[in-house]
Chain A
Amino acid sequence: MRAFTRGLLGIAGFLVLWELLGRSPLIPAHALPPPSVVFGELVTQLTSPEFIGHVVATVLALLIAIVIAIAIAVPSGLVLGSVPAVRHATRAVVEFLRPIPSVALIPLALVMLGFGPETKITLAVYAALWPILFNTIYALDELDPLLVDTARVFGTGRLGVLFLVALPSALPFVLTGIRLAATTALIVMVSVELMAGSQIGLGYFIMEARSGPGRMDQVLVGTVVAGAIGVLLNNGLERVRRRWVAW
């Protein structure tokens, strides 16, 4: 409980610093509105259905992207992790694809997929694939051979071993991968909304607030809400991992 209080104090200290900075003459007033202003605006926005619509759009697209990424990456990870030949064969391809930043694909995705939600979901999926894939492969590497042998002794087949032994013991790593992927996907999602001008979403809200009336308080409201979504996602997934995967 005291640690919790200290944490709150830390955040409070940060807000005070920001308030002072925002009100100091060192920084142009319109560039960094102080938290008192931003939180006022935050309350206003949270009651506006339009803003809630943007938030829902982003979160929904994010969840869809994460589910698709899991559906692709976990099976691929299981195959790559348990069949060494496939893994070595595809290694160069994977190592080349992975470092391509998803944002570099924005122009391409825009011309191919247009300005709808498909673009941002596709790009977020691309970004979210890698942490899940690599954590799944890594988990299979760490698999205790004794467990496999035990299962084999009891007459479990290759597929049985995969689903009854490998997958459960890989689950904690996979969940960690999903947590990392969710954070990355959020970044990509908001970036794409910001730059590719889709018509709805938190990133779009931020861009509109900036380029139209230059309302920096609204920009920061969007930023704070995006950060909050990130914290919730991260903590929620961490809690899931601790609760359901206690081994």
Chain B
Amino acid sequence: MTKFLQRWTVFAGLVAVWQLLGWFADDPFFPPPSKIVSAAWDWWVLEPENFTGHVVPSVVRLLSGWVIASVLGVSLGLLLGRSDRAMEYAGPLLVFLRSIPPPALVPVFLLLFKAGTSMQLATIVFGVIWPVLLNSVDGARSVDVTKVDTSAVFRIPRWQWVLGVVLPAASPKIFAGLRVSLSLSLVLMVISELVGTDNGIGSQLMQAQREFDYTRMWAGIVLLGVLGYGLNTALLAVERRALAWQPRSRDEQHA
């Protein structure tokens, strides 16, 4: 409890300092928090169509892209991870594909899918699938020999082997990958909106920049920070429940 107080006191203190500095300096680039909050209020609460028309679609795209990438990444990763041969074929290719900065492919996706949601989803999925995929491969490989033998001796059915042994054994690594992917999804969502559409948080940010409306720009940045924080916290809560079986309760890790 004291730790909780300690950390939020410092946070509040910093915000207060910023507020004071903002008042005194009166610099257009650094508006005080009070102005940012009121700008956000005017923008998204007093004009709810801005919220439903921009924020909601952004979040929906982000989450659907992440979910698609996660499902693809986990299934492909478990498959590849359980076959050394397959990994020998696919390994170098995966390393290369992973190293491609996804924004570089935005022009290609723009031509293939036209501007719009499918192009944005393609960008997000291509960008965030790698951490999940590679972590799933790693996790699937980490099933120890004794468990493999035990499963073989009891002649369990194929589905039980995959869902009951490989998946849970790989799950700690998979979750680490999912967390990295989730924060990457936020980045790619913004990137895909900066070029791809006229709606979404990213395009609103761009518009604020064009209108030299720094307060709104800050509001957008803060919103993205809050969004990232919220999503990460939610995923951590899910992870803690899903991995409650783990022998050692791990400290909250930031991977």
A/B: CB atoms within 8 Å of each other: yes
Could you list which residues of chain A lie within 8 angstroms of chain B, going by C-beta atoms?
Answer: 2-3, 6-11, 13-14, 27-28, 30-32, 85, 88-93, 95-108, 110-112, 134, 137-138, 141, 183, 186-187, 189-191, 194-195, 202-203, 206-207, 210, 216, 219-220, 222-224, 226-231, 233-235
Q: Are B89 and A6 in contact (CB under 8 A)?
A: yes
Q: Report chain B residues within 8 Å CB of A207.
A: 107
Contact for B6 among A3, A10, A89, A219, CB less than 8 A: A89
Known A-B contacts A95-B229, A231-B96; A10 and B91 likewise in contact (beta carbons under 8 Å): yes
Residue B10 at the chain A interface, CB threshold 8 Å: yes
Q: Does B145 contact A (CB under 8 A)?
A: no
Flag if A92 contacts B10 (CB, 8 Å): yes
For A110, list chain B residues within 8 Å (CB).
209
**Interface of chain A, main secondary structure:** helix
In the bound complex, do residue A216 and residue B108 qualify as a contact, i.e. CB atoms below 8 Å apart?
A: yes
* Complex interface: chain B residues within 8 A of A228 (CB): 96, 99
Measured between beta carbons, the chain A residues less than 8 angstroms from B100 are 223-224, 226-227, 230
The answer to whether A216 and B103 have CB atoms under 8 Å apart is no
Please tell me if B16 contacts chain A, counting CB pairs below 8 Å.
Answer: no
| Main secondary structure on B side of the interface with A | helix
CB-based A-B contact count at 8 angstroms: 182
B63 at the interface (CB under 8 A from A): no
| A187-B102 contact, Cβ under 8 Å, with A88-B7, A231-B95 | yes
Number of interface residues of B (CB under 8 A): 62
A147 to chain B, nearest CB (A): 19
Chain A residues with CB under 8 A of B191: 103, 191, 195
**Among B93, B99, B214, B229, contact of A7 (Cβ-Cβ < 8 Å):** B93
Q: Given the known A-B contacts A89-B10, A93-B11, are A103 and B88 also in contact in the complex, defined by CB atoms under 8 Å?
A: no
The interface residues of chain A lying within 8 Å CB-to-CB of B88 are: 2-3, 6-7, 10
Across-interface contacts of A14 in B (CB, < 8 A): 93
Taking a contact as CB atoms under 8 Å apart, the answer to whether A234 and B99 are in contact is: yes
One of B35-43, B70-78, B160-168, B218-226 contacting the partner: B218-226
Cβ of A107 to closest chain B Cβ, rounded Å: 3
| CB-CB under 8 A for A11 and B96, given A6-B89, A31-B111 | yes
* A-contact 0/1 string along B228-239, CB 8 Å cutoff: 110110000000
Q: Across the two chains, which residue of chain A brings its CB closest to B255? A: A134
* Min CB–CB distance A177 → chain B (angstroms): 10
Give the contacting residue for B104; candidates A89, A222, A233; CB below 8 A.
A222
How far apart are A122's CB and chain B's nearest CB, in angstroms?
A: 14
Scoring A107, A108, A190 by chain B CB atoms within 10 A of each residue's CB, the highest score goes to A107
Contact of A90 with B10 in the complex, beta carbons under 8 Å: yes
* B101 cross-chain contacts in A, Cβ below 8 A: 186-187, 189-191, 203, 223, 226-227, 230
Interface stretch (choices B49-57, B149-157, B182-190): B182-190
Q: A31-B111, A134-B254 are in contact. Are A11 and B93 (CB under 8 A)?
A: yes
Q: In the bound complex, do residue B255 and residue A230 qualify as a contact, i.e. CB atoms below 8 Å apart?
A: no
Contact call B209/A203, Cβ cutoff below 8 A = no
The residue of chain A having its C-beta at the shortest distance from the C-beta of B254 within the complex is: A134
Interface 1/0 per residue, B136-161 and A, CB below 8 Å: 00000000000000000000000000
Q: Do A88 and B112 have beta carbons less than 8 Å apart?
A: no
